[in-house]
Each structure stands twice: as C-alpha cells, then as structure tokens.
Chain A
Amino acid sequence: MINENILAKNRAEEFGHDLWEEFVIPHYYREFEILNSLKPSIIVGGRGCGKTMLLRYLCHESQFSPKRKFLDNVVLNRIGLYWKIDTQFAKTMSKRGEDEVAWNNAFIHMSVLILSMEILKSIESIQKSFMNTKNQFDFSIFDFSSLTGFEEIIPNEFIDLKKHLKSSFNKFQMWVGNYKKIPSPIFFPINFLIELIDTIKGDLPILQNSDFHVYIDEYENLLTEQKRIVNTWVKHSESPLIFNLAMKRNAFGERLTVGNEQIAGIHDYREFDLELLLDKQYDIFAAEILLFRLKQSGYDEIPINIDDLFSTDIPIIEKRKSDSYRLTILKKAKQILPGYSQIELSEQVIKDSILKNRIQELVEKALSRRNSKYEFSDFYNEKYPEVMIVLFALLNRKDITEEALLKELSFLKEGKPNKFYGKTAWVHNNFIGCMLFLYSKLGRLCPLYSGFETFSKMSKGNIRHFLELCFKSIANNSVSNSEVFIIDPKVQSAAAKQVSTSLLKEVRALGPQGNSLYTFVIRLGTIFEYCRDNPSQSEPEQNHFTIKNGISKRSQNFLDELCKWSVLYEGRLTKRKNTEMGVEYTLNPIYSSYFNISFRKKRRIEISDAEFGIIAFEGLEMFDRLIKTKYKKELGFMPNLFELF
C-alpha cells in the first residue's frame, strides 16, 4: 500500500534541514565536491533543480545528523552553514535618510550576528553527533573572552554567548525599525566571525583543520549594495571562512565588490550550473528519486540498493552511471509509468468511434476542397493505423496529389518502400502533430502525455515537477494492486494535465512581475495552439520561438526574467537563418499538456521584436489584433477540464 502523504513532499523546505538519508546524491556530486574545495562556489540553477536540497545537505544539520552512523574526523574538515537571508527585513537597511555606509555596517552586523549563531549551532550539531565517540566534548571547554574586544559585555561561556547573540539580534531588529528613536548598537565587523572561529578551533582540537563554509541561498534577492558586500566576502574568502552563493539563472548581474574591484570567475570562484551538470544523467536521477520515494512510502519492489543512493563513494557513484544499472532502473521506472507506443496510440484512435469519425470528417473535408473524385474509403485502411492518423494532414497539402498518396498506400500494402516510412517518413514527422490536432479539437485528454520518458522530458531537469507528475498520477490511480504497481497511461495523462494547469497558475507567483509573466505564457501558449491547429500540419510541433531583426532592451529584460524563473529556456540556435538572433526560447514543456502542444523541442516560429512587445506588454485589444492578422483567428475561452467550482 502506497502512502501518498509521504510522496506528496517535493520541496526542500518540507524536509527540514537534516537531509541525511533523504538527499539522493546526484551523479555530479564528486565533480562538485572535488572542485568545491577552498575556492568559493557559485551554484546556479532554475527552480526545482535541487539547489536548496544540495546546500542543506552540505550543511551541519545533515552532515552531523544523528541519523549518520559512521563519523570520522575527516567530516569535520568542512562545516557548512546554510543562510537564506530574510530580504524583506534586509531591504529596510537602505535609504530612509541614513547614509549608505551606515546601512552597510548595519547589514554586516546583522550577518555577523546570524552567522555567529549558526556557527554555535553547528558546534551543537557536532557535539550531539560525536556524543558516543572518543571525541566527545562539553561546552564548558570554550572560553570566548577574546571577543570582549568587540563588545565588553560579551559572555565567556558557550550557552551565555548564544543567548547574548540572540538578544543582540532582537535589539538590532528593533533598532532597524526605529533607528531615529533608538540608539545604535555597536556594529561588529566581519572579523568577529574569524575571531569566533579561531577561539572555537583553539578550544576544540578536533576542529583544528576545519573550515566553515557559508552557503548563501537566493542571493539574487539582495539589494545591490548588499550584493557588493557579499561579493567582497566571496572575493576575500580564505580558510577558515569561505562564502559560497546560490542563485537562479541570469541573476549574477552585480559583480562589483565594496572596493569597486570586480569579482571574476575561476580566479575568485567556480561556477556550477546544476541543471547542466544534472542534464547528462537526469533520467536516471529522476528514476532513482522516484523509486526511493516509493520505497519510503511502502513499495518494496525496488531493483536497486537504496543505500547506494546516499553514498558519496566513487565506485558506487560510478556504478550508478553504468549501462547495466541504467537499464535496470529505467526498465523499472517505465514499468511503473508505462507510455503507449506509436502503434498503440494509433490503434486506440481507430477503435474510438468519435476519433475515427473525426479523421473521416477531416479527410472528406480535404477531398471536397480539392473537388476530388475519390472518397474516404479509397484511402482508409485500418490495417495501417499509424498511416491513418497522418492521412488528413497529407491530403491538406497542395503538393501531394490524391493519386500520389494512393500510390504510396499501394506500395505500403505490397510491402514496398514508401514515403510513409523510410526516408520521407511522413508518419514519423507528422504523427505527434496529428495526434495533438485530433485530440485537442475534441477537447479530450491526449494520451501522449504519459510514460516515464515523457514525464522526464516534460520536467526538463526540474525534479519537483517530475515528482509532481508522478505523485499526481499515483494519487489518481484508483486500482490499488500491491503485486503489480502500474499506472495506466490515461491516468498519467490526466495527472499531467492537472499538474500542467496547476503549475501554470503558479506563474503568477514568480517574482514581482508574476502577473505579466503569466499573461505572457497564456498568450504564447495560445499562439502555439493556433500553430498546432493547421490541418495540413506542414509545420507540426511548434513550441519555441526566435526573435528576428534585433531586440529592444525592454524585451530582453523581460525575456531574462522569463528565463530566470524557468518559464522559458534559452538556447543557442542550432540552424540559424539570416535575420534571426543567435538564441531561441522554448516554453517550459511542463506547460505543454495544458495547451495540448508538443513537449518535444521540434520547430520554432519567428516573431519580430514588435510582435514580442505586443505579446508581453500590450493590452488585450492589441494582442487580439495580432492574432487576427497573423493567425487569422479569434480569441476565445477554452473550457478548463479541472475547474473545481
């Protein structure tokens, strides 16, 4: 019996800070660990790629987790401190009639207080985890009298220092809110942290070789001045205090430090793009997480050793990259989440009287437009269901005559080479486009959005989206057979539609411009729907675009925002035409099911900067006009299958 509540957890925040035996080690981990030595790391990645999970795994709550069985002193060399800065509060330390230097000092003071408290917490984590070893220690060994140089009333003892720091932070918060009415506290410089660490290392010899790594999450939300302060810390990071940053894509715009020096890659830091690192093994990683979560929720038919997923040993990680492991794990994932083959999909259409009638209607309409002497029955043959799916599209193309088509059909019947398959590959090139056309016109759930591979493609490196697709499918699966755990592809398609709709609604919440991003996605998706609705399917599966003849700064900024939130993905143009820019933008495939468009990156459309401006910034009337002139369509409302009330 599967416990769906356990499966429903898919955000780092839901797991807390101790991720020991919760965090599946990504295949890139060794690469990351080796390079992430004493040089600061800048960790970049879109939402849901696992940034926060990785950071929390690296930090003391996980590394010194009570759940961790075998600890040796080597793990003490690196003590991680996670810090997501409370930006709504940090932002109030600017302007307000006070000069920039004073606020910068206040920001540094806040950072010192918070990180000092975090350092003490890390010592508590270590103390708890080493309790039963020969390295056990007591807090009474610490003497913090050296810190009184910063503030005379700082207590000497560990517990008192902890209380003092908390109380100082509370007072500091009151001061920030009312700085005109309350006297300023004594601001601590960043060196306070070094002194604190030196004291701890001096008093606790097992930490002699330890470095403290601060991981600042969501760096992009800081004010420019605050980013410069943090950049300075990164630039001047050295043992025993190293600053690392994590941020979304396109978010590292500010490179200056307080001293107006630039912070530069390789020299000052190493950048890790988690989505790129994950890309190579994403499908295996997704399958592993799926199986692990199923195991957690009570499913036992797991063909791999789950403990391997938490191991950072090189041979085990290498084993997880091997072909045999890959085959085993993908086979299991596909067994749980099967998809339909092309032939199965086409047979279903032929067996469904409504869909079959729709094909007949489309073929007859095409023949009538041609004033053809032929009839539907001259072409239709259920022995070749895949061919029947693409028939209407081919008959809607001027350059293919009925006779030519009948000739190819006869070649097909005779088993001779023909254009449906082979080099011309009418079936291969048009099948998905025709399927999407057929289903969307009838407002039905399209079974294309099913199968492990499809879910993997639709989630495009976003584990949270992948898990959402899987667990919605499992939750919707009414057949509970503990012996054979297989989710019907139709159930999966319904789940994909639900998840797609739900995540599309979430676009409104993506940053301060969320409402504009949402309007843009709805409009772009609508355009791709109109592209799909061409019965000739001469350009099937259009789901990305490029901008021709240059782009304005306003448009570029908006595109950057869309990419920052992974609503669009930016890629280099593979086949570049004369007037196109060097980049193309793909709509996140997770939205494909909502719009009934292809999740595969196949064909692009070209739009001008002016047209982009209309889609992104103008009112409904202008957009309506664009749709009418460019796509000869009227805007209309599509019924939502999942409207709840």
Chain B
Amino acid sequence: MNYSNYKDFMNINMQYDSTSSKLSYEDWDLGFVGSSVDDRGKEAIAFIGSKTKKVIKIEYDPINYLILIEEQSIGIDFIDDFLMSYLDLESKIILDCTSLGFVELLIISQVLSNYRIKDFDAIYLEPEYYRADRNKGISKRDFELSKSFEGYIGIPGHTLSISTDNCDKVVFFCGYESERIERAFEDLNLNEEKTQLIFGVPAFHSGWEMNSFSNNIRVIDERNLNRRLYFCGASNPLAIYEKLSVIYRGLSVDERLFIVPIGTKPMALGACLFKICTNDNQKLAILYDHPKRKEERSSKISRWNLYNISL
C-alpha cells in the first residue's frame, strides 16, 4: 500500500503494513532511537539496529535542558555542533518515532534541517493494545500511559511567552490523557476562545477514537471548546501538517500559534516537520509537558508505518 501527497515545500510518502517485510526501503546509514518501554519500542529499535550502519540513542532531559547521547550529556543549545560529526549530506537517515519522544524528534529534525539534510525516513509501530488502568479507575477508558509529567516547560528554540493580551492561538492534539489539556489551562494563560482541538480520526483501530472523545468530553464541555474540534488521521503526519498550515496562514499580524503535540506520535511528527519547515520562531511555538512513559504501556504491534520525508 502506498499513499503520496504533495505540498509546496514538503512531501511525505507514507507506507504501512502489518509487517516490516512488506515495506519498501533500502538500508540506512544512521538511525536515531530512544528508549523502549513496550513491545513495539523493542521491535522498532531491533529493526533499526539490523538495517542501519550506526544507531544513536538519544534522550532529552527537560529539567536540565540536556540531551543524553552517545553516553554524553550535551546542552540543547550545543547539539548542532555535537551532531555535526555524525552527519553527512549523503547519509540515509531514519528516526524511530516509536521510541523517540516528541522533543527528541523535534531536536533531530531541526538539526537535520539546519544541515540541509532534506530527505530522511521515520518509522512508527502502532500498538495492538494500550494498557488499561488496572487500578479501580472511574472509567473503563482509563489507560496507564504515563508515570508522571515534568509539567509544561519550554523547549529552547521553540518557545515563546504566552501573551496576556489574548492574541495567541493554541492547538492541542488530543489523545487519551485529557488531564494534559486540563493542566495546560490550569498552569498557563491560555485563551479558551482561541483554542482548537484536533482528534486523531481515523484512529489506529476503529473504535479507539471513542476513548479520546470520552476522555476529553469533560474538558471540552468545561472550557467551551465544542465548536472548535477538528480531525486528522492518527497515523497521518501530513494531515496534521496541512491542518497546521491552514491555521498558520490564517493568523493575523498580532496573532501567534502555540502547538501542543500531545496526541499520537505521527501527529507529533507532523507538528515537528511543520515547525521546522516554516522556521518561523516569532509566530510559532511549542507547549509540551514532558511525560515519563510507563513501562509496558502498550502490547503487541498492529501496524508498521514508514514515512519517507522530503522537506
């Protein structure tokens, strides 16, 4: 299966199937992975390990603004220089969106863009199941996905101060953890009237979108967001890219856009690529709460996605 879509300045060729053997690719020179917490993470890292000459593990520490890479801690403001020795314009590069966190994806994409590496690949393995909350939860749609959160802390290079003049737009990508949206409203000066929510529909599995709707109904109701809901495919980064482009193009002179990528990882990838491609740090910023993922948060693998990206 193959699906292509073209934009003025970005293209993603999206392949997906139930196993990696049915995907079309050539081996890579350099792969970036994160830590695995579940079956699909392990599988994705093993796959990249077997298909890539060099694998680099990378993790971001949001409290100290450090990137743990190749057994070293590098400040986020110095990562460009550090990665230079690993990058080559001709290198074939792959990112594992399954195990890498959002910030790591953003940092790597930014570095690749800074070094004018415009073509690279990304894989993402969808889970067969998410782990339901085994505690006596209120709802059968409660899931055990995150241990805790560091809270909303800016990512240097991608952060602006939210205006008190109510002229900042905010767009949330919605997943199962509605408390992340509630916490953003609680902690930050967000304007409900300028807030939009994007749900991942179609979801990874049909019916899973109901988990998102059900879990987010409270915040939608309390914050009067029911007239500002939008939908983009949960595993389609290009759809998010296009949606963000529309919102971005509609910003007035004084308006800025804050993106809160707390939905699915492919949606987060779309946000990263959009942020990098537009390269507008005066009008675009990211809000992120840095979750610590729970071990075994999902089990088994339902689908492999391979994204061939051309910035």
- Chain B residues with CB under 8 Å of A635's CB are 136
Partner of B282, one of A14, A174, A221, A638: A174
- State whether A86 and B162 are in contact (beta carbons under 8 Å apart), knowing that A97-B75, A640-B139 are contacts in the complex: yes
Q: Which of A372-380, A393-401, A511-519 lies on the face that meets chain B? A: A511-519
Interface status of A620 (Cβ within 8 A of chain B) = yes
Partner of B159, one of A177, A526, A620: A177
Interface status of B247 (Cβ within 8 A of chain A) = no
- Proximity string of chain A (475-514) to chain B, C-beta cutoff 8 Å, 1 when within and 0 when not: 0000000000000000000000000011011101111111
- Chain A residues with CB under 8 Å of B281's CB are 174, 177-178
Instruction: Decide: B134 and A620 in contact? CB cutoff 8 A.
Output: yes
Pairs A–B under 8 Å by Cβ, sample size 14:
A86-B189, A88-B188, A88-B287, A97-B78, A173-B159, A176-B156, A504-B138, A505-B218, A508-B177, A508-B179, A508-B182, A510-B186, A515-B148, A623-B135
Partner of A509, one of B77, B78, B182, B282: B182
- Chain B residues with CB under 8 Å of A170's CB are 282
CB nearest neighbor in A for B77: A180
Q: How far is the CA of A79 from the CA of B68 in the complex (A)?
A: 48
CB nearest neighbor in A for B166: A16
Instruction: Decide: B153 and A514 in contact? CB cutoff 8 A.
Output: no
- Chain B residues with CB under 8 Å of A501's CB are 138
CB nearest neighbor in B for A170: B282
Instruction: Decide: A636 and B136 in contact? CB cutoff 8 A.
Output: yes
Instruction: Decide: A169 and B161 in contact? CB cutoff 8 A.
Output: yes
- Chain B residues with CB under 8 Å of A526's CB are 136
Q: Which of B42-50, B117-125, B209-217 lies on the face that meets chain A? A: B209-217
- Chain A residues with CB under 8 Å of B137's CB are 522
- Chain B residues with CB under 8 Å of A14's CB are 192
Interface status of B88 (Cβ within 8 A of chain A) = no
CB nearest neighbor in A for B289: A512
Interface status of A89 (Cβ within 8 A of chain B) = yes
Interface status of B140 (Cβ within 8 A of chain A) = yes
CB nearest neighbor in A for B160: A173
Instruction: Decide: B75 and A92 in contact? CB cutoff 8 A.
Output: no
- State whether A89 and B160 are in contact (beta carbons under 8 Å apart), knowing that A177-B281, A645-B213 are contacts in the complex: yes
Partner of A173, one of B65, B77, B161: B161
Q: How far is the CA of A351 from the CA of B214 in the complex (A)?
A: 38
Q: Which of B165-184 contact A (CB under 8 A)?
A: 177-180, 182-183
Instruction: Decide: B161 and A86 in contact? CB cutoff 8 A.
Output: yes
Q: How far is the CA of A157 from the CA of B161 in the complex (A)?
A: 26
Q: How far is the CA of A636 from the CA of B135 in the complex (A)?
A: 9
Q: Which of A153-204 contact B (CB under 8 A)?
A: 169-170, 173-174, 176-180
Instruction: Decide: A88 and B154 in contact? CB cutoff 8 A.
Output: yes
Interface status of B115 (Cβ within 8 A of chain A) = no
Instruction: Decide: B179 and A620 in contact? CB cutoff 8 A.
Output: no
Contacts from A to B (Cβ < 8 Å): 13-14, 84, 86-92, 95-97, 110, 114, 169-170, 173-174, 176-180, 218, 221, 501-502, 504-506, 508-516, 519, 522-523, 526, 594, 620, 623, 635-638, 640, 643-645
Partner of B148, one of A13, A502, A516, A636: A516
CB nearest neighbor in B for A594: B138
- State whether A643 and B154 are in contact (beta carbons under 8 Å apart), knowing that A502-B218, A509-B179, A509-B186 are contacts in the complex: no
Interface status of B202 (Cβ within 8 A of chain A) = no
7 closest Cβ pairs, A-B complex: A509-B182, A508-B179, A509-B179, A89-B161, A92-B154, A88-B152, A512-B151
B208 → chain A, closest Cβ, in Å?
A: 12
- Chain A residues with CB under 8 Å of B134's CB are 620
CB nearest neighbor in B for A468: B222
Tell me the interface secondary structure of chain A in the complex. Answer: helix
- Proximity string of chain B (72-92) to chain A, C-beta cutoff 8 Å, 1 when within and 0 when not: 000111100000000000000
Interface status of B7 (Cβ within 8 A of chain A) = no
- Chain A residues with CB under 8 Å of B189's CB are 84, 86
CB nearest neighbor in A for B191: A13
- Chain A residues with CB under 8 Å of B249's CB are none
CB nearest neighbor in B for A638: B136
Interface status of B150 (Cβ within 8 A of chain A) = yes
CB nearest neighbor in B for A513: B148
Interface status of B25 (Cβ within 8 A of chain A) = no
- Chain A residues with CB under 8 Å of B151's CB are 88, 511-512
Q: How far is the CA of A177 from the CA of B147 in the complex (A)?
A: 28
B272 → chain A, closest Cβ, in Å?
A: 16
Q: How far is the CA of A502 from the CA of B218 in the complex (A)?
A: 7
B251 → chain A, closest Cβ, in Å?
A: 15
Instruction: Decide: B187 and A505 in contact? CB cutoff 8 A.
Output: no
Partner of B187, one of A87, A176, A502, A637: A87
CB nearest neighbor in A for B182: A509
Interface status of B303 (Cβ within 8 A of chain A) = no
Interface status of B278 (Cβ within 8 A of chain A) = no
Interface status of B226 (Cβ within 8 A of chain A) = no
Among B136, B159, B188, the most chain A Cβ lie within 10 Å of the Cβ of B136
Q: Can you name 8 extra interface pairs (CB under 8 A) apart from A13-B192, A512-B151, A515-B146?
A: A86-B189, A88-B154, A89-B160, A178-B157, A513-B148, A594-B138, A620-B135, A637-B136
Partner of B156, one of A90, A177, A221, A509: A177
Q: How far is the CA of A645 from the CA of B212 in the complex (A)?
A: 11
Among A176, A512, A635, the most chain B Cβ lie within 10 Å of the Cβ of A512
B176 → chain A, closest Cβ, in Å?
A: 11
Q: How far is the CA of A176 from the CA of B192 in the complex (A)?
A: 27
- Chain A residues with CB under 8 Å of B141's CB are 645
- State whether A176 and B159 are in contact (beta carbons under 8 Å apart), knowing that A505-B138, A523-B135, A640-B139 are contacts in the complex: yes
Among A84, A502, A514, A620, the most chain B Cβ lie within 10 Å of the Cβ of A514
Among B153, B155, B192, B214, the most chain A Cβ lie within 10 Å of the Cβ of B153
- Chain B residues with CB under 8 Å of A513's CB are 148
Partner of A519, one of B78, B135, B186: B135
Q: How far is the CA of A512 from the CA of B187 in the complex (A)?
A: 11
CB nearest neighbor in A for B61: A95
CB nearest neighbor in B for A504: B138
- Chain B residues with CB under 8 Å of A502's CB are 218
- Chain B residues with CB under 8 Å of A88's CB are 151-154, 159, 162, 187-188, 287
CB nearest neighbor in A for B153: A91
Q: How far is the CA of A178 from the CA of B78 in the complex (A)?
A: 11
Q: How far is the CA of A594 from the CA of B178 in the complex (A)?
A: 20
Instruction: Decide: B162 and A89 in contact? CB cutoff 8 A.
Output: yes
CB nearest neighbor in B for A82: B164
Q: How far is the CA of A358 from the CA of B135 in the complex (A)?
A: 30
A62 → chain B, closest Cβ, in Å?
A: 15
Q: How far is the CA of A13 from the CA of B191 in the complex (A)?
A: 9
Partner of A645, one of B150, B156, B214: B214
CB nearest neighbor in B for A514: B179
Instruction: Decide: A522 and B136 in contact? CB cutoff 8 A.
Output: yes
A406 → chain B, closest Cβ, in Å?
A: 41
Instruction: Decide: A509 and B183 in contact? CB cutoff 8 A.
Output: yes
- State whether A96 and B65 are in contact (beta carbons under 8 Å apart), knowing that A176-B159, A512-B149 are contacts in the complex: yes
B72 → chain A, closest Cβ, in Å?
A: 14
- Chain B residues with CB under 8 Å of A179's CB are 77
